Amino acid sequence: MSSTQEKLRRMADQIANNLKARGHEEAVAATAEHIWKFWDPRMKAGIFADDLSVLTPIAREAIEKLKADAQQSAA
């Protein structure tokens, strides 16, 4: 694992942790929205290709949602 992957994981988890007080579903949606709006395409591609099982549940679900949305848009 590269230090870049570690940084992306840490950032995704920090975003999720900062939003978890909103409740699980809203935190997932807000985390996904934040990553979609503010992460550049390379960052998103990096986290999409990573092992999502190491992320917190909110971050993992947000990334899975974004990944599914990106795949649908590409189809």
**What are the tens digits of pLDDT across the range 14-56?**
999 999 999 999 999 999 999 999 999 999 999 999 999 999 9
Q: How far apart are CA 33 and CA 23, in angstroms?
A: 15
Q: How far apart are CA 3 and CA 23, in angstroms?
A: 30
Kindly state the DSSP code that residue 39 receives in the 8-state scheme. S
Over residues 48-67, the pLDDT tens digits come to 999 999 999 999 999 999 99
For residue 16, count CB atoms less than 10 angstroms from its CB and return exposed for 0-12, middle for 13-18, buried for 19 or more: buried
- Which residue has 């999409």 as its token pair? 48
